[in-house]
């Protein structure tokens, strides 16, 4: 019975324009019935929970799946999320993968890492987990987001602060090995084209940044240069339509070397990296 209901829900979500209807229908069923997605076939017909159609209707109205279930998966993490905090996206996993490789290649015993605009804490927590001896610092401005960040970083090695990413961590100037950020980067002119899950539910502060979407990244370029030691690396996510634009913010004239763009798992330009030039 449950699998038949899931098939029906899949069709409803597809008709509503949900990008991954089967996955979402299965996730909602698993969430409501307290099992993993791969165990749905083990739920007896008699245990079917009719509230399933309530959560399906919420997803049909394009409420984010993660807001309904209260959880988001990111690399090896399960994070608590909900209204007020940006829901981490799969594209950002490739940003973190590159950052981990870069830190490991540095051969520093206890690398110092800073995550600017941390949101749910996804990037900072993944780095702390996958680079075991790292010292990870994270900053978030929004009090609404921080309610979730604090839950996620509790018991971890991440040092979390509330504050503006542009002025954060003056005590770490010139000492940081890696600065990473998934900042807001959507141009204000693109508002109507943003998926309703993001536009209507993610905090506006986490999405939009000026007419061309690059206002905050321009500011973070100066922050990263201030924080990094010579030879340290910055990694910044951007929109796939901004490939080619962001590396030009990290110019040699401003003290950078090796600025480059990198693709995500779908081979679209997704993040820029640069190295602080040696004196």
DSSP string covering 130-173: HSTT-EEEEEE--HHHHHHHHHHHTTSS-EEEES-TTT--GGGT
Do the annotations mark residue 152 as ligand-binding? Answer: no
Tokens matching residue 171: 């005590």
Provide the pLDDT for residue 243. 82
Q: What is the pLDDT of residues 166-175, one digit of tens each?
A: 999 999 999 9
pLDDT above 70: percentage of residues in the chain: 96
How many domains are there within the chain?
2
Is 29's pLDDT higher than 70? Answer: yes
Q: What is the pLDDT of residues 182-221, one digit of tens each?
A: 998 777 777 666 677 777 677 776 777 777 888 889 999 9
Shared domain check, 160 and 34: no
In a domain, 69, yes or no: no
Shared domain check, 143 and 266: yes
Q: What is the mean pLDDT of the chain?
A: 91
In a domain, 67, yes or no: no
Q: Residue 220 and residue 141: Cα distance in Å, rounded?
A: 14
Shared domain check, 180 and 150: yes
Domain boundary among 33, 61, 89: 61
In a domain, 102, yes or no: yes
In a domain, 240, yes or no: yes
Q: Does 182 qualify as catalytic in the annotation?
A: yes
Of 21, 64, 183, 269, catalytic: 183
Is 251's pLDDT higher than 80? Answer: yes
Specify whether the backbone of 72 is left (phi greater than 0), alpha (psi in -120 to 50) or beta. beta
Q: Residue 27 and residue 35: Cα distance in Å, rounded?
A: 9
Do the annotations mark residue 183 as ligand-binding? Answer: yes
Provide the pLDDT for residue 4. 86
For every residue of 238-254, which 3-state class applies, written as one string?
CCHHHCCCHHHHCCHHH
Provide the pLDDT for residue 205. 67
Do the annotations mark residue 184 as ligand-binding? Answer: yes
Shared domain check, 175 and 106: yes
Provide the pLDDT for residue 46. 85
Q: Which domain holds residue 26?
A: 1-61
Do the annotations mark residue 266 as ligand-binding? Answer: no
Q: Residue 66 and residue 78: Cα distance in Å, rounded?
A: 11
Q: What is the pLDDT of residues 110-161, one digit of tens each?
A: 999 999 999 999 999 999 999 999 999 999 999 999 999 999 999 999 999 9
Which residue(s) pair with 230 in the sheet? Answer: none
In a domain, 225, yes or no: yes
Q: Does 86 qualify as catalytic in the annotation?
A: yes
Q: Residue 10 and residue 147: Cα distance in Å, rounded?
A: 33
Q: Residue 29 and residue 42: Cα distance in Å, rounded?
A: 12
Q: What is the pLDDT of residues 82-100, one digit of tens each?
A: 999 999 988 899 999 999 9
In a domain, 66, yes or no: no
Shared domain check, 140 and 85: yes
Shared domain check, 128 and 5: no
Measuring CA to CA, which residue among 99, 121, 103 is closest to residue 111?
103
Q: Residue 251 and residue 233: Cα distance in Å, rounded?
A: 14
Shared domain check, 181 and 158: yes
Is 3's pLDDT higher than 90? Answer: no
Of 74, 111, 182, 187, catalytic: 182
Shared domain check, 210 and 187: yes
The DSSP line for 195-255 is -HHHHTTS-GGGTB-SSSS-HHHHHHHHHHHHHEEEEEEEEEE--GGGTTTGGGGS-GGGT
Domain boundary among 10, 29, 61: 61
**Residue 159, number of CB atoms within 10 A of its CB:** 15
Shared domain check, 179 and 56: no
In a domain, 113, yes or no: yes
Shared domain check, 245 and 116: yes
In a domain, 229, yes or no: yes
Shared domain check, 201 and 134: yes
CATH number for the domain that contains residue 198: 3.40.50.150
Q: Residue 210 and residue 212: Cα distance in Å, rounded?
A: 6
Tokens matching residue 173: 């100037």
* Local structure of residue 186 (DSSP, 8 states): B
pTM: 0.89
**Residue 193, number of CB atoms within 10 A of its CB:** 9
Shared domain check, 42 and 11: yes
pLDDT above 90: percentage of residues in the chain: 73
Domain boundary among 61, 82, 108: 61
Tokens matching residue 221: 């370029």
Band (pLDDT 50/70/90 cuts) for residue 50 is: confident
Of 74, 86, 169, 208, catalytic: 86
């Amino acid at each position: 019975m449950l699998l038949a209901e899931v098939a029906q829900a899949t069709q409803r979500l597809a008709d509503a324009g949900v990008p991954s209807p089967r996955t979402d229908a299965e996730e909602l069923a698993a969430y409501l019935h307290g099992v993993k997605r791969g165990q749905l076939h083990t739920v007896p017909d008699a245990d079917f929970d009719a509230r399933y159609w309530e959560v399906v209707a919420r997803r049909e109205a394009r409420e984010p799946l993660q807001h309904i279930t209260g959880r988001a998966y990111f690399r090896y993490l399960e994070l608590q999320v909900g209204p007020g905090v940006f829901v981490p996206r799969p594209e950002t996993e490739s940003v973190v993968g590159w950052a981990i490789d870069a830190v490991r290649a540095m051969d520093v015993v206890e690398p110092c890492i800073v995550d600017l605009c941390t949101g749910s804490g996804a990037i900072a927590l993944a780095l702390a987990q996958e680079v075991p001896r790292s010292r990870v610092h994270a900053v978030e401005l929004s009090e609404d987001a921080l309610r979730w960040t604090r839950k996620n970083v509790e018991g971890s090695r991440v040092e979390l602060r509330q504050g503006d990413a542009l002025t954060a961590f003056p005590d770490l100037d010139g000492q940081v090995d890696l600065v990473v950020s998934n900042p807001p980067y959507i141009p204000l002119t693109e508002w109507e084209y943003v998926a309703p899950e993001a536009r209507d539910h993610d905090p506006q502060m986490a999405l939009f940044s000026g007419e061309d979407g690059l206002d905050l990244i321009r500011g973070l370029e100066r922050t990263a240069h201030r924080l990094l030691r010579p030879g340290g690396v910055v990694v910044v996510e951007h929109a796939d339509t901004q490939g080619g634009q962001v590396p030009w913010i990290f110019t040699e004239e401003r003290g950078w070397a090796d600025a480059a763009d990198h693709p995500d798992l779908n081979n679209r330009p997704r993040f820029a990296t640069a190295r602080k030039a040696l004196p």
